[in-house]
A and B are shown apart, each in its own frame.
Chain A
Amino acid sequence: MDKHLLRYPGSKQTMAIVGLLTGVQAVAILFQAIFLAKAITQMFHGESLSVAIRSFAFFFIAHFVRQLMQWGKERVAYRFAQKTSERSREQLVEKLFQLGPDAVGKHGSGNLITLTLEGIPKFRKYIELFIPRFVTMAIVPLVIVLYIWTQDKLSAITLIIVLPVLIIFLILIGLVSQKKIDDQMENYRLLSRHFVDSLRGLVTLKYLGKSKSHEKAIETVSNKYRIATNRALKYAFMSSFALDFFASLSVAIVAVELGLRLINGTVTLEPALAILILAPDYFLPVRELGNDFHATVDGQDAGEEIRSILKDDTSYEMNDVAVMPFVGATSLRAQEVTVIGDEERTLLEDVSFDIRPGEKIGIVGTSGAGKSTFIRTLAGFTTVGDGTFAIGEKQLPTLANESWQRQLSYIPQHPTIFAMSVAENIRFYAPDATLDEVKEAARTVGLYELIESFPNTWDEPIGQAGRSLSGGEEQRVALARTLLQQSNVLLFDEPTAHLDIETEHDIKQIIVPLMEEKTVFFATHRLHWMKNMDRIFVIDHGRVVQEGTYEQLLHEEGPYRALVRSQQQGVIRS
């Protein structure tokens, strides 16, 4: 039994209530069998129907109570399961925001989406099934077998012996089949992926002129897949076969045994019938537990994963020092800051700087040097291992600080376009902005005409649920957001590298005036931006290896010159 299940608030009460209901149910099961046996015996002995009807009536009452208890158990378990899974979801979502983008990347966003939206329902299903099943398993067979013991010891012994044998068998089969299934997992995985792989690669196949002949391959692989699956299923179905086999065989054995002793006269009809009716109910809880085995395992795994994320303590503390707006006579200082990534890898090392409001800092370097980490550290999204920050007079352990973050605009290579209307997307950072302000911002970034041409103009849905935008248009939306936000500090992380050169040129005309009066950090390998910067940091292997103005770096033999050279090969010297 899963220990964790007992730790959720309210789980003990739920268990107790379910236990109580199951107790009543077990007694009802006994009475149901006793009265049905009685009714049949009465009719068998030729008593009048009115006598039998009374027994039938008691049978029905017992049956009713049994089913009512069943219904009640399921309800109670469902309520508890829902409450628990709801709370887990709440904690999970809050945790994700607390962990921030780095952790989301680490756990994999696809994985987190599946966990939250599929895993939570599985977890709920697991609790909902497991509690009543488990409690039933613990109580009902025991009560039944005790009763049978009082009626006929031999039948009781048969039933008592079969159950452990059945369980041992199940475990053995489980072990053997798991091994057989594991053996062919790799092959199986490749085969099962083949079709998706083919569809996703269809365009490539087409271009290679291979798409027609690939049809044959799909057929062949599908058949191989079928054969491999069949082989695996032969083992996978074995455990439910064993369950059925033992359960129905022991009912048969009990029936025959009873028959033989009825001939000898050591038992009478009525208890024999009752035992016969009870025998399947004795096995029912095991069979149900077996049938729900997969749902149980899936849900348990999901619960495990949720708990492990909730335990993830890499989340940096948000500090709540109140930071003044980054304008006027203040400064942002970093003192020997070191940033640690996954597997203890050092991403930034000994970075120190002192920056005044309004300064524009370019950050360049080869890919993987640490440009993005630098920007994300400024936004407070990384785990700072060493060093300190200061804004004005205030010392800060990290920049994970809400009053600082609220002053930032962050423009990455692929800004997120939310599944909202275009107007809501533009006013994302400033939800109170009026439509006129939105329009004004759109005009500045050159989106006005485009949006006016949409069928629903400003209400046009974009993002996942609506119209898709080109890379340049997405960047314009992000810039319009920034305009409305009126932040003090702009963080750019490679905003134009993926755009075509003409669009890049257009976007630059928008960004340059936007940077006026603001503090800017601009990470890129498009070196033309550096002319607009006051200072340039060249980063290599997580360290700032060179620092200076554009003019200085251009005339100084060093890493910056090397970068420029590597990109200027072939320039015509006129």
Chain B
Amino acid sequence: MKQYIGEYVTPYLKKYRAMIGWTIFFGTLALLSAAMLTFTSGYLISRTSERPETILMVYVPIVAVRTFGISRSVFKYVERLLGHNAVLKMLADMRVKLYQALEPQALFIRERFKTGDLLGAVADDIEHLQDVYIRTIFPTLIGLFVFVFAAGGLATQDPLFALIMSGLMLIVAFVYPLVSLYMLKKHQTTSKRLHSQLYESFTDALFGVTDWMISGRKKTYTEQFLQEAKASDEAEKKLDYWHQSRTFQLQLITGALVIIVGCWAGLQAANGHLTPTYIAAFTLVVMPIMEALIPISHAVERVPVYEESFRRLDAVKQQTYEEFEGDVPLETIERPVISVEHVSYTYPGSERLAVDHVDLTIRPGEKIAILGRSGAGKSTLLQLILGLAKPTEGRVTIGDYESERFGTSIYDVVSVLNQKPYLFATSVANNIRLGSQEATDERIQRVVQDVQLSDYLSSLPNGLDTQMEETGQRFSGGERQRIALSRILLKDTPIVVLDEPTVGLDPATERQLLETMYDALEEKTVLHITHHLTYIEKMDRIVFMDEGRIAMIGSHEQLYATNERYRNLYELDRGL
């Protein structure tokens, strides 16, 4: 936990110390106003009961009572606005920082973290971190300041008694919070673990509802799930019961403190150290002061709740991936040859050759299909060509330069259209313009025509300015790929990689999309990783990979004429 605080809390506290300072200042003033309202009212009533000659004698306390009556709510309001503003500023910084950490490793995240929506979870984690400030740090600090003021104020009257009272208040401001933190840590972790287990088993149930029903085991499942849910409830119940009991205990302490202060004030007055009009003020002020201290327990015990968010953020940031901008003179690359020369690759920590002595030369403008089972080495070959991995043996060059020398500039030479290109929650035009910020409206119109979307888009009321909606649900799979393709056409790189862009589309849509793609990409070198043989006849060469090696290579005519396995697969695909 400590290292997380050093990483995610302290730097921001430092950077925004002025804003946080003001937040704490106003927060403290708000609570002190509440205390002072009670204090001055108590004084006012005691003083007036002595029936002073004229109202002017109590003019000051009257004004004070009214002022504190108003100022408490005003200060509170200001504190909340300032605090949220400061926290939102921090979150903005954290987002940028997280993005900086994620950006270089973007292409490897899915491999490193198997979880489905890690990125969504991390984005949520950042949002949750505002609670660290709003619900823990601010109330704790404000409570402690009130404590200091209370103790200090009392010390001006009676230092020794102030010391005793400080000790008693510390029970509420320190001992209870720390004991809560210590005691509840285990329960909180258990409760959280049980809850995430529930998620897992319930997700399984809903996605597998058909299986549970057909298997006739739904009763087994419901019973088990409800059992698990009960266990999770029990864990939560322990936490909630503790909260209720703690409030009860702290309230009793408050009652005791009222009596102690009351008796002290009475004694002081009897001894002549205190004007009797202050007895009520001192006695009554105990309650609002304690109201400021009691929430500290609740604020501090939340600390373990944040830990998981911290841990996930940290796991993402831990891995650093050195990025290299590339030193290839891109202007010399016009129609490059891709040359894979005797290349092998082994993943770190593995002994298996993911790519095993592959030789392949791809001429400019050539259309190559790459097929293979999952794990055959297609993706690894692609990574080697993109320079994301350095061959353990042999070399990969693009236009005479080793591919890893391109660094991040590789994407000025190679465009990739993957299975699920992301379409951002903005307009269609903005999504397309991502391909090239400088593109004129005419060019955008042209690429939209090239991907044969112009009729459809102009039939929409907002045309190109149509919003993509939530992750693009307005558009079908085929249309989404067309939008993504137009982005790539706008980018206009000499090489285009199509990484299974048609998975999940029905045969008619698949065929139409491929036709559009190859019409639009006629000039380019195309590497098409594919799982079906649709459109395969139009490819210059077909490469089948198996266990890292090239198992078959040739044009459709060649393979169909000479290779029985290919013939079988082709006929299977065509439904013959």
Q: Which residues of chain A are near B463, meaning CB under 8 Å?
A: none
Are the CB atoms of B209 and A97 closer together than 8 Å?
A: yes
Q: Is B215 an interface residue (CB 8 A)?
A: yes
Q: Is A571 an interface residue (CB 8 A)?
A: yes
Q: Is A233 an interface residue (CB 8 A)?
A: yes
Are the CB atoms of A245 and B45 closer together than 8 Å?
A: no
A408 to B266, CA, bound (A): 86
Selected from A59, A206, A225, A503, the residue in CB contact (under 8 A) with B411 is A206
**Cβ contacts B187-200/A at 8 Å (1 or 0 each):** 00000000100111
Q: Mark out the residues of chain A between 292 and 322 whose CB falls within 8 Å of any chain B CB in the assembled complex.
A: none
A215 to B97, CA, bound (A): 9
A203 to B76, CA, bound (A): 44
* Nearest opposing residue in chain A for B254, CB measure: A63
Q: Is B374 an interface residue (CB 8 A)?
A: yes
Report the minimum CB–CB distance from A122 to chain B (whole Å).
Answer: 13
Selected from A223, A229, A567, the residue in CB contact (under 8 A) with B575 is A567
Report the minimum CB–CB distance from B358 to chain A (whole Å).
Answer: 18
Query: Most B CB atoms within 10 A — which of A194, A198, A472?
Result: A198
A528 to B538, CA, bound (A): 22
Are the CB atoms of A93 and B204 closer together than 8 Å?
A: no
Q: Which residues of chain A are near B423, meaning CB under 8 Å?
A: 201
Report the minimum CB–CB distance from B118 to chain A (whole Å).
Answer: 9
Q: Is B312 an interface residue (CB 8 A)?
A: no
Known: A276-B41, A502-B371. A89 touches B226 (CB 8 A): yes
Q: Is A510 an interface residue (CB 8 A)?
A: no
Q: Which residues of chain A are near B487, meaning CB under 8 Å?
A: 208
Q: Is A219 an interface residue (CB 8 A)?
A: yes
Known: A49-B263, A196-B123. A410 touches B206 (CB 8 A): no
* Nearest opposing residue in chain A for B195, CB measure: A117
Query: Most A CB atoms within 10 A — which of B69, B226, B284?
Result: B69
Are the CB atoms of A251 and B69 closer together than 8 Å?
A: yes
* Nearest opposing residue in chain A for B115, CB measure: A464
Q: Which residues of chain B are near A116, meaning CB under 8 Å?
A: 202
Known: A93-B225, A255-B65. A226 touches B88 (CB 8 A): yes
Are the CB atoms of A203 and B511 closer together than 8 Å?
A: no
A342 to B575, CA, bound (A): 34
Q: Which residues of chain A are near B504, meaning CB under 8 Å?
A: 498
Report the minimum CB–CB distance from A184 to chain B (whole Å).
Answer: 15
Are the CB atoms of B280 and A273 closer together than 8 Å?
A: yes
Selected from A39, A214, A280, the residue in CB contact (under 8 A) with B262 is A39
Are the CB atoms of B199 and A113 closer together than 8 Å?
A: yes
A366 to B471, CA, bound (A): 26
Are the CB atoms of A229 and B88 closer together than 8 Å?
A: yes
Q: Which residues of chain B are near A418, meaning CB under 8 Å?
A: 204, 208, 211
**Cβ contacts A240-282/B at 8 Å (1 or 0 each):** 1110110011111101101110110100110011001100100
Are the CB atoms of A408 and B73 closer together than 8 Å?
A: no
Report the minimum CB–CB distance from B281 to chain A (whole Å).
Answer: 10
Q: Is B18 an interface residue (CB 8 A)?
A: no
Q: Is B270 an interface residue (CB 8 A)?
A: yes
Selected from B116, B215, B270, the residue in CB contact (under 8 A) with A46 is B270
Q: Is A127 an interface residue (CB 8 A)?
A: no
Q: Is A230 an interface residue (CB 8 A)?
A: yes
Are the CB atoms of B201 and A52 closer together than 8 Å?
A: no
The A contact surface, by secondary structure, is: helix
**Cβ contacts B226-254/A at 8 Å (1 or 0 each):** 10011001001100110011011001100
Are the CB atoms of A500 and B265 closer together than 8 Å?
A: no
Are the CB atoms of A262 and B51 closer together than 8 Å?
A: yes
Are the CB atoms of B65 and A237 closer together than 8 Å?
A: no
Known: A82-B237, A259-B44, A502-B569. A405 touches B418 (CB 8 A): no
Q: Which residues of chain A are near B69, meaning CB under 8 Å?
A: 248-253
Q: Is A10 an interface residue (CB 8 A)?
A: no
A218 to B251, CA, bound (A): 47
A360 to B96, CA, bound (A): 58
A123 to B38, CA, bound (A): 37
Known: A379-B210, A419-B201. A71 touches B248 (CB 8 A): yes
Selected from A60, A200, A571, the residue in CB contact (under 8 A) with B574 is A571
Are the CB atoms of A470 and B375 closer together than 8 Å?
A: yes
Report the minimum CB–CB distance from B185 to chain A (whole Å).
Answer: 21
Known: A97-B222, A237-B80, A410-B210. A202 touches B508 (CB 8 A): no
Q: Is A504 an interface residue (CB 8 A)?
A: yes
Q: Which residues of chain A are near B95, meaning CB under 8 Å?
A: 195, 218-219, 222
Are the CB atoms of B120 and A196 closer together than 8 Å?
A: yes
* Nearest opposing residue in chain B for A500, CB measure: B531
* Nearest opposing residue in chain A for B435, CB measure: A208
Selected from B62, B255, B418, the residue in CB contact (under 8 A) with A60 is B255
Q: Which residues of chain B are near A468, meaning CB under 8 Å?
A: 114
* Nearest opposing residue in chain B for A430, CB measure: B215
* Nearest opposing residue in chain B for A202, CB measure: B106
Are the CB atoms of A96 and B209 closer together than 8 Å?
A: yes
A240 to B119, CA, bound (A): 35
Known: A204-B422, A241-B77, A255-B41. A276 touches B284 (CB 8 A): yes
Known: A248-B69, A256-B62. A269 touches B255 (CB 8 A): no
Q: Which residues of chain A are near B408, meaning CB under 8 Å?
A: 209, 212
Q: Is A138 an interface residue (CB 8 A)?
A: no
Q: Which residues of chain B are near A263, meaning CB under 8 Å?
A: 48, 51-52, 55, 58
Q: Is B412 an interface residue (CB 8 A)?
A: yes
Q: Is B37 an interface residue (CB 8 A)?
A: yes
Q: Is B315 an interface residue (CB 8 A)?
A: no
Q: Is B311 an interface residue (CB 8 A)?
A: no
Are the CB atoms of A464 and B575 closer together than 8 Å?
A: no
Report the minimum CB–CB distance from A133 to chain B (whole Å).
Answer: 14
A415 to B209, CA, bound (A): 11
Q: Is A545 an interface residue (CB 8 A)?
A: no
Q: Is A535 an interface residue (CB 8 A)?
A: no
Q: Is A501 an interface residue (CB 8 A)?
A: yes
Are the CB atoms of B62 and A199 closer together than 8 Å?
A: no
Q: Which residues of chain B are near A82, meaning CB under 8 Å?
A: 233, 237
Are the CB atoms of A505 and B425 closer together than 8 Å?
A: no
Are the CB atoms of A268 and B49 closer together than 8 Å?
A: yes
Report the minimum CB–CB distance from B373 to chain A (whole Å).
Answer: 5
Known: A63-B255, A78-B240. A202 touches B102 (CB 8 A): yes
A109 to B210, CA, bound (A): 13
Q: Is B68 an interface residue (CB 8 A)?
A: yes
Are the CB atoms of B45 and A234 closer together than 8 Å?
A: no
Are the CB atoms of B263 and A202 closer together than 8 Å?
A: no
Report the minimum CB–CB distance from A141 to chain B (whole Å).
Answer: 18
Q: Is B535 an interface residue (CB 8 A)?
A: yes
Query: Most A CB atoms within 10 A — which of B46, B116, B556?
Result: B46
Q: Is A210 an interface residue (CB 8 A)?
A: yes
Q: Mark out the residues of chain A between 395 and 454 whose CB falls within 8 Å of any chain B CB in the assembled complex.
A: 402, 405-406, 408-410, 412, 415-416, 418-419, 428-429, 431
A244 to B421, CA, bound (A): 51
Provide 21 A-B residue pairs closer than 8 Å at the C-beta atoms, listed in order of the A residue. A56-B263, A60-B259, A86-B229, A96-B206, A113-B202, A193-B425, A200-B471, A203-B106, A203-B107, A203-B422, A205-B106, A208-B411, A219-B96, A241-B76, A251-B37, A252-B70, A256-B44, A259-B61, A273-B280, A528-B573, A530-B575
Which 3 pairs from chain A and chain B are nearest by CB? A252-B69, A527-B575, A222-B92
Additional A-B contact list (8), CB under 8 Å, known A74-B244, A501-B531: A198-B424, A202-B103, A203-B110, A234-B81, A367-B508, A367-B509, A472-B373, A571-B576
